């Protein structure tokens, strides 16, 4: 699986210019040090309908949820493997005449819109929210952030009440075991399941 985050960034830039909605690029792609498994960090100042249009304009997500700490960020994962941390902005100080901003929004005065996230996302139950952790764990581990990948996998283990303890050395077997245990109790969307299985196949060992 070859994820093309640049294709998504190009889409976001074109959407900002054509719709007149402000979008900021952030994270590793703004800093210039992404890995093949990096999330795309985006901040978007939009109303609910524009946000829905923007999310689905790139493709129908295989997973869409939101964070609770901090609030105001939507997690979107697409079938091609692109994962987006989409910060929803209520208002922001705009310093130029453009709509797609290649600058860190955190350097300016802005406010998140945490309420809109729950309205845009599909589900907010705990099992569905936990399902996101499989993708997060896998991309962190594959990107070389093994400690984070292992830690997130063990969060899933705790949620399931599993006796599986994931370590650096048994990561592939451990995450596969947890994936099976989770899917037995809470059957996953087939497209999201396929995406995670592709990532598991990429693990060494």
Q: Which of 75, 99, 120 represents a domain boundary (last residue)?
A: 120
Summarised one tens digit per residue, pLDDT across range 47-80 is 999 999 999 999 999 999 998 888 889 999 999 9
Maximum pairwise Cα distance, the chain: 56
Summarised one tens digit per residue, pLDDT across range 116-143 is 888 888 788 899 999 999 999 999 999 9
More confident residue, 111 or 19: 19
CATH code, domain carrying 60 = 3.30.460.10
Q: Which of these, 157, 151, 117, 126, lies nearest to 137 by C-alpha position?
A: 151
Give me the number of domains the chain comprises.
2
187 and 149 fall within a common domain: yes
67 and 135 fall within a common domain: no
130 and 61 fall within a common domain: no
pLDDT beyond 80 at 182 = yes
Q: Which of these, 54, 47, 66, lies nearest to 11 by C-alpha position?
A: 54
pTM of the model: 0.92
- The residue assigned the tokens 């939101």 is 66
Q: What is the DSSP letter of 62?
A: S
Q: Which of 53, 86, 120 represents a domain boundary (last residue)?
A: 120
- Kindly give, in sequence order, each residue whose CB lies less than 8 Å from that of residue 188, ignoring residues fewer than 6 positions away: 131, 182, 196
Q: Are strands 71-77 and 40-45 parallel, antiparallel or unpaired?
A: unpaired
Q: Domain of 49? A: 5-120
């Amino acid at each position: 699986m070859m994820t093309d985050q640049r294709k998504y960034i190009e889409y976001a830039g074109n959407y900002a210019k054509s719709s007149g909605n402000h979008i900021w690029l952030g994270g590793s792609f703004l800093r210039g040090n992404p890995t093949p498994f990096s999330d795309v960090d985006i901040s978007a100042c939009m109303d609910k309908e524009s946000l829905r249009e923007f999310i689905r304009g790139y493709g129908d997500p295989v997973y869409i949820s939101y964070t609770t700490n901090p609030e105001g960020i939507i997690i979107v994962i697409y079938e091609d493997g692109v994962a987006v941390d989409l910060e929803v902005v209520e208002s922001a100080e705009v310093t130029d005449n453009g709509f797609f901003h290649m600058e860190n929004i955190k350097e300016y005065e802005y406010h998140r819109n945490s309420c809109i996230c729950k309205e845009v996302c599909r589900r907010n139950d705990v099992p569905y929210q936990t399902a996101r952790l499989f993708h997060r764990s896998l991309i962190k581990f594959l990107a070389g952030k093994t400690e984070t990948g292992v830690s997130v996998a063990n969060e899933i283990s705790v949620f399931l009440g599993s006796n599986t303890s994931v370590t650096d050395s048994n990561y592939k077997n451990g995450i596969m075991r947890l994936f099976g245990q989770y899917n037995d109790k809470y059957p996953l969307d087939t497209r999201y399941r396929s995406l995670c299985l592709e990532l598991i196949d990429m693990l060494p060992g």
